[in-house]
Amino acid sequence: MTSSNIQRHGSRNGSNGSSSNGHGANRQPALRVIPLGGLHEIGKNTCVFEYGDDIMLVDAGLAFPSDGMHGVNVVMPDTSYLRENQKRIRGMVVTHGHEDHIGGIAHHLKNFNIPVIYGPRLALSMLTGKMEEAGVTDRTILQTVAPRDVVKVGQHFSVEFIRNTHSMADSFTLAITTPVGTVIFTGDFKFDHTPVDGEHFDMARLAHHGEQGVLCLFSDSTNAEVPGFCPPERSVFPVLDRHIAQSEGRVIITTFASSIHRVAMILELALKNGRKVGLLGRSMLNVIAKARELGYMRAPDELFVPIKQIRDLPDRETLLLMTGSQGEPLAALSRISRGEHPQVQVKPTDKIIFSASPIPGNTISVVNTIDRLMQLGAQVVYGKGEGIHVSGHGFQEDQKLMLALTKPKYFVPVHGEHRMLVAHSKTGQSMGIPADNMLIIDNGDVVELTPDSIRKGEPVKAGIELLDASRNGIVDARVLKERQQLAEDGVITLLAVISTDGVMAAPPRVNLRGVVTTADPRKMSLWAEREITWVLENRWQQLSRNSGGKAPDVDWMGVQREIELGLQRRLRRELQVEPLIICLVQPAPGGTPAYKGRADAEPDSRPAPRGRRDGYRDGNRDRDRDRGDRAPQAAPAPRSEVAPAAAALPRRELAAVGAAPAPAAAAAPRSEEPEIAPNRTRRRRSTAAG
């Protein structure tokens, strides 16, 4: 591709598509590497390699929601860039089968095709089940690879799969040959010299590429702050053996289902100590079934007992292996800790072992689960000092060994939070890589590589997509903000009866749910009444027009927004609360007698705003419109849901108003509203930002 073509392509996609070592004719094509996830975070690892007209994807993972993401099941990277350029996608390569590397693929296939996906047998076997469940098996071709296999992706990428060692079996580092040079993409790794499955890290191939010349290394940074070498996986075997052998009651172990080596050791120890194994958790059942089917795990069928039958065995002969090591609310161990599991209840003689460490962000959930289990009388074994867990990610010395073997000209730390990337860059400098030859990047940043340069290009759009429990519905920022309002300040529903003549035909119905306030119901009703009256007196002409028919055309959505905004501002000023406010306007026929308002209410002396022609309030002027306005004491209301009789309404309209409970009535039209009310802001930063 010529330089001019790259420039045209770059302007189309929001970046220049080239790197410059000089001026004019010296401009040359660049390899572009674009992480869409996995930077400044743990999870949703997704990376794009782009050269010329070819795009190759490396992994596509997911992450788990934070506490503020109400109703969100999983977090995906924003793939707008890939959807816009899907015709250029030539294929994907997968490093291993952890959820943070393959969990997003089935979802992405619903939005764009991937011609072919290359990866290890275990990872693609797990991916097959996800694709069948999502109904996207026809959107790609899965092609398994073996160590040292080389595949061609598009015209410009050749990828060699180099066996590495990790907490999951069948894991690879990638050597990617491109027109500008060879790039090593480590994936997740550590140097384990005594691997459980006997599959050693192929350091010879790394050294070979290092001797041939590696242009750039993209390396796992997860444990960049931890000195030394990461202990081998086999080091937990004797510790787990001691705990299982010494326990007089049941042994309950939780770990990552995808930690195939750990699970294989636990099954081996159960067999050695004469214990039958009961499995709990869908992912645990699925992963063990796949691993046994493919030969990554060997255990006789008679070792396993259905969970409904294992209760009949002596505790001394029982081992329960389950999910829940991260405190997930719906995982097996979490449900057991809350006493909600139908088959398993905690006994004082139980020994519960957490053979995993909390992922950043999950610590509170994990310790809460541990506390609940201890309160039920169980002995809980957890923590780094117990020797029951080792990481699958290399420490500083592992990272130094990777740098020494590959000898890269340029270095980009990836896969980790910002402090981890900074620590890894310092390790790179200690190994002789100049600071000018390294970049610390974020999701959406573009690394542009030529044989003689590394630089940041113009970034592409990156962020997050939040999926609900169905993994089909997208929870957008507006929906998440409303859920946060509901969780933090509650909801107020308001039913206003307004005739097409622009008069209030009945007193408003106000209902509070989850709102902590000192205001009594009659005051809330009076405030709502004043906001409705103000809108009708000052906004009605802008919100309705006579089209020549029997009744004027009324912007009822605009009326609702105006009332919501006014009541929201009043509550923020008077009570310092910001509940979600949902207003439903019930239209009444023209000529309906007007509701006169409270006899004991003082008139609203606020001046009508000037200079607005769009029918919406001026935020600066509206800030002072209620200054000096104090709500007088109204007659006591008989109940919290303020709904005095509206004798002036015809019986049919009264029935419509009275028959619909305020929350349900307000909810339906709210979901049809195309946009959130303007200027609705929160005191707290939304976790969906970015």
What is the structure's pLDDT at 328?
83
> 418-430 vs 396-406: helix axis angle to the nearest 10?
50
CA angle 174, 126, 366 (to 5 degrees): 95
34-43, 292-301, 338-347, 567-576: range with lowest mean pLDDT: 567-576
pTM here is: 0.73
The residue among 410 and 8 whose pLDDT is bigger is 410
Both tokens of 394, joined, read 């290399």
Residue 209 has pLDDT above 60, yes or no: yes
What is the structure's pLDDT at 682?
38
Band (pLDDT 50/70/90 cuts) for residue 619 is: very low
Question: What is the average per-residue pLDDT within 305-322?
Answer: 92
In 485-497, which positions are buried (b, 16+ CB within 10 angstroms) versus exposed (e)? beebbbbbbbbbb
Cβ atoms of 58 and 188 closer than 8 Å: no
Residue 220 has pLDDT above 90, yes or no: yes
d(CA 34, CA 446): 5
How does pLDDT run across 344-368, given as a tens digit for each residue?
Answer: 999 999 999 999 988 877 888 899 9
Residue 120 has pLDDT above 50, yes or no: yes
221-225, 452-456, 679-683: range with lowest mean pLDDT: 679-683
What is the structure's pLDDT at 541?
81
Q: Of 675, 557, 559, 681, which Cα lies nearest the Cα of 619? A: 681
What is the structure's pLDDT at 476?
62
Cβ atoms of 250 and 376 closer than 8 Å: no
- The three-state secondary structure class of 392 is coil
d(CA 563, CA 581): 9
6-20, 26-40, 443-457, 586-600: range with lowest mean pLDDT: 6-20
d(CA 539, CA 531): 11
The residue among 89 and 637 whose pLDDT is bigger is 89
The residue among 582 and 611 whose pLDDT is bigger is 582
What are all long-range contacts of 17-25, with beta carbons under 8 Å and residues at least 24 apart? 17/457, 18/448, 19/448, 19/449, 19/450, 19/453, 19/455, 19/457, 20/453, 21/450, 21/452, 21/453
